[in-house]
Chains A and B, each alone.
Chain A
Amino acid sequence: MSVRLPPFQRFLDAHRDEVYRFLLSAVGPQDAEDCFQETFLAALRAYPRLSDASNLKGWILTIAHRKALDAHRSRSRRAVPVAAVPDEAGREPPDPDDGVWEAVRRLPSKQRAAVLLRFAADLPYREVARAAGGTAEAARRNVSDGLRTLRKEWSR
């Protein structure tokens, strides 16, 4: 029997804020909107074939996590440092606490992913592991390693 899925619009309404928040933290204000669109378009493509509707939040954040990784990769390929220029006045999301996320975005990729999924997406360790790969134990360790690095940087 096929699973009963909510209409996609309801699913989008229910998760858009947390996905946007996660991406804002994961890739920063410049790339968040692009990643957001890519995330939900990929989800929309796969949606009718989804075989388990019990954890839609974990599913969409796993996709968001992969889109964030893609963005990081393509940014490091671009490599040429460009000053962050908003493409339209007032379009940049207000983000007074972005400093701490900038520091997170500089963490090694496993720690970065684990910290983001744990704190920006607010997922429990079991689901952090499912989204990022590996065990819950490894996710816990990556988070604590990441936090240790951040603490060092932040107390300087």
Chain B
Amino acid sequence: MIEISKQLTRAARGAVKVHAARAASSVVRRARDAGLLDVGYGYTDTPFGRMLVAVTPKGLVRVAMRTESPDEVLQELSDRLSPRVLEAPIAVDAVRRELDEYFEGKRQVFDLPLDWALSSGFREKVLRATARIPYGGVSSYREMATRAGNARASRAAGSALATNPIPIVVPCHRVLRTGGHLGGYGGGLAMKEALLKMEGVRLA
């Protein structure tokens, strides 16, 4: 007969993975019901690759391009908002739906509530001004700086847009350099150009 301590160790190694996974998804559901889901995230497939989207009870807080590492994005959310971060596909359903519609050309305005918690001060003002640029329109870094209250801060406006936590929905792709040059874009210039083309903007 096997020594009892060995038998205990072996017995504890039974197939538990499936059951643990199911129990873990129940935890997420109950956390949401109990109001303990501070940040819920999920993934959505787009013509520009898979994006991670995160929401808080206030609204959409983060859209991460495929060029960003999910681990780093989630750690940042944990550090800056709350470590109660859980994968909750249901919580991001509305975001996924609206993004799908946008990429299919069926949606020009997003109806999603936004949570600006990851931006503050001048950066937040720049991003809020950017959120008001309509579909098919474009603006300039200087114009965004002016609307945020400091006409001479176009460089700072550019850096606020470069670190936009909610790209696509806050349409930083509609902001160009004065004179119509594309400027920069977190998802790459080809993506910026493609988005503008899709929205019917004629580029110089």
Q: A: which residues have CB within 8 A of B? A: 4-10, 12-13, 16-17, 19-22, 24-25, 32-33, 36-37, 40-41, 44-45, 47-48, 93-98, 100-101, 104, 115, 119-120, 122, 147, 150-151, 154-155
**B11 contacts A25, CB within 8 Å?**
yes
| Known interface pairs A10-B74, A48-B83; A17-B20 also in contact (CB < 8 Å) | yes
Q: B: which residues have CB within 8 A of A? A: 1, 4-5, 7-17, 19-24, 26-27, 30-31, 34, 36, 39, 41, 71, 74-75, 77-79, 82-87
**B84 contacts A104, CB within 8 Å?**
no
**B82 contacts A41, CB within 8 Å?**
no
User: Could you say which of B12, B26, B87 contacts A25, with CB atoms under 8 Å apart?
Assistant: B12
**B11 contacts A37, CB within 8 Å?**
no
Q: Chain B residue with minimal CB distance to A19?
A: B20
Other A-B contacts than A10-B74, A151-B4, 16 sampled, CB-CB below 8 A, are A4-B79, A6-B75, A7-B85, A9-B74, A24-B19, A25-B12, A32-B19, A33-B19, A36-B20, A37-B23, A37-B27, A100-B7, A100-B11, A101-B8, A119-B8, A119-B12
Chain B positions within 8 Å of A6 at CB level = 75, 78, 83
Chain A positions within 8 Å of B26 at CB level = 33, 37
Rounded to whole angstroms, the CA-CA distance of A98 and B20 in the bound complex is 17
Chain B positions within 8 Å of A7 at CB level = 39, 74-75, 77-78, 83, 85-86
Measured CB to CB, the closest approach of chain B to A2, in angstroms, equals 9
Measured CB to CB, the closest approach of chain B to A52, in angstroms, equals 14
Pairs A–B under 8 Å by Cβ, sample size 15:
A6-B78, A7-B74, A7-B75, A7-B85, A10-B71, A16-B24, A17-B20, A21-B14, A24-B14, A24-B16, A33-B23, A48-B83, A100-B8, A147-B5, A154-B4
**A9 contacts B1, CB within 8 Å?**
no
Rounded to whole angstroms, the CA-CA distance of A95 and B31 in the bound complex is 29
CB-based closest 7 A-B pairs: A97-B11, A7-B85, A20-B20, A119-B8, A5-B83, A7-B78, A7-B74
Chain A positions within 8 Å of B86 at CB level = 7-9, 12
Chain B positions within 8 Å of A151 at CB level = 4
User: Could you say which of B9, B21, B83 contacts A47, with CB atoms under 8 Å apart?
Assistant: B83
Measured CB to CB, the closest approach of chain B to A103, in angstroms, equals 9
| Interface core residue of A9, A12, A147 (most chain B CB under 10 Å) | A9
